[in-house]
Structure 1
C-alpha cells in the first residue's frame, strides 16, 4: 500500500512519492500490528541510548541536513515532527537509510490517523505533544510504543494507566531536574522523558535525577545554525550532549 499522508491536516506535507517503493518493506502498509519483540526492542533502545534528537525545521530543505548532522554527532534515536514540511518523506528516507542502526520515530501526532500515516512511513515509535488517551490506547493495542506529552504528575500517571510505557514531560523546563527527581521518587512506576528545557549541559543531570530518557530540541538544533547552514555546529552539539548522557549509563527499565 502506498504511504498515506495527512495532507488535509497540515498543508505543508507532501506526497512521499518515490520513497513509497523503497520504504514498502519497512512500513506497515495498513497492517499496524507490531510484535511483542519489536515493542520491547524499541524500549530497550530508549533505555540504552537515553537521548532522542527532536527536529523541527521551518523548511523541508534543511530537515535532512540537520538530522544528518545530529546522527553524525552520535544520536541513535531521532524524531521527525509533523510540524516540519515533508516530515513523513524525510522520516521514510531516514528509516530506509539507517534501518537497524538509528531508531526513527514521529512526533506531533494528534490523532489516530496521524499515527497511521507515521507508521505507514516507517516510524518505529509515536510521540504526542499532549496526553491523548485514544492514541495511547490505539498504540497499545498494536504493540507500538507511544510516548505522550504530559505536564503534571496526574497526566503522567494517567498516560501510564492508559498504556504508555514512557511518558514525555513537556515542556520539561517547567520544573527542571529536581522536579523529575521528586515525581520519580513519589511515583516510581513512571518512566519520564523530559523534552524542551533539556539542553547540552543538563541532559545528564535530568537522567541522574530519575529521567528515563530525554529529548533534545532547540539546544541541539540551534535555529541560528540551521538558518546559516552551519551543520557542523549541530554535529558538535550532538557530540557534547551524547558525551554527557553516556556518563550516566543505561536506564534500568521498569517492567
Structure 2
C-alpha cells in the first residue's frame, strides 16, 4: 500500500478516538461510503487492536493505527491488520519497527528540528501538530528548508479551514472529533458521521 499515493489522492484521513467503538465495521464502512476511506483507530481506545482486526476487512478501507507509542504497540497494530502507523511525536522505536516491517509510518513533529529528525528516522510523512495553533502559513514556512517532505496537518482542522492548510502546503489534513466525535462512535450514530464526513470531503475537494 502506497500511503503517500493514497493521501495525495484523498487529501484527508480520519482520526477516531472514542471511549468505545461497538461497531467498528459499520463505522469504517460509513466513512468509506462518505468518501473518507483513510482511517486511523487510536490505540487510546480500549481494545483497539481487536477493533482494527474486526474492521480490517471492510472493502475500500485504508486502515491504520494512531497514538502508537512503542515497538510493542506497533507490532500489535500491524498484527491486527493496520496498514500504516501514526505517532503523536518522535518515537524512534516505533519508526524502527515500522521500517523493519515495511509499514508506512507518520511521525508527529512541530518544530523544524523535529521534522528533520522524523525524516531521519524514516517517516513516510510528518504529522504537524497542533496545526490550528501554528496556522496554515507555517506549512509553507516548513517547505522552505524541507520542500519535499510530505506534511499532514493535525489538530483543530475543520471543514471551515481544511482548504487553507492544503493551500498552505499540507499534503493532507486530518478529520478528528468534528467528524467522528467520541459520542457518535460510541453510540453508532452513523447517519451523523456520514453527514459530517461528506462535508469534510467536500471542503477538502474544493482545495484541489
Do both share a fold (TM > 0.5)? yes
Residues 71-90 of structure 1 deviation map (CA, whole Å, 9 limit, x = unaligned): 33211201111111221122
The whole-number CA distance in structure 1 between the counterparts of 2:182 and 2:57 is 26
Larger Rg: 1
In terms of fraction of residues, the more strand-rich structure is 2
The whole-number CA distance in structure 2 between the counterparts of 1:175 and 1:164 is 21
In the other structure, the counterpart of 1:42 is 3
In the other structure, the counterpart of 1:16 is none
The whole-number CA distance in structure 1 between the counterparts of 2:64 and 2:106 is 10
In the other structure, the counterpart of 1:69 is 30
Residues 1-255 of structure 1: pairs in structure 2 closer than 5 A:
38=1, 41-61=2-22, 63-98=24-59, 101-223=60-182, 225-226=184-185, 230-249=189-208
The whole-number CA distance in structure 2 between the counterparts of 1:146 and 1:231 is 29
The structural deviation recorded for 1:126 is: 0.7
| TM-score (normalised: structure 1) | 0.75
The structural deviation recorded for 1:43 is: 2.2
The whole-number CA distance in structure 2 between the counterparts of 1:56 and 1:157 is 28
Structure 1 residue ranges without an equivalent (≥5): 1-37, 250-255
Aligned-pair Cα RMSD in Å: 1.9
Structure 2 residue ranges without an equivalent (≥5): none
The whole-number CA distance in structure 2 between the counterparts of 1:115 and 1:162 is 15
Query: Residue 248 of structure 1 aligns to a residue in which SS?
Result: coil
The structural deviation recorded for 1:121 is: 0.5
User: Number of matched residues?
Assistant: 208
CA contact (8 A) 2:75 2:97 kept: no
Query: Residue 105 of structure 1 aligns to a residue in which SS?
Result: strand
The structural deviation recorded for 1:63 is: 4.9
The whole-number CA distance in structure 2 between the counterparts of 1:181 and 1:149 is 17
The structural deviation recorded for 1:64 is: 4.8
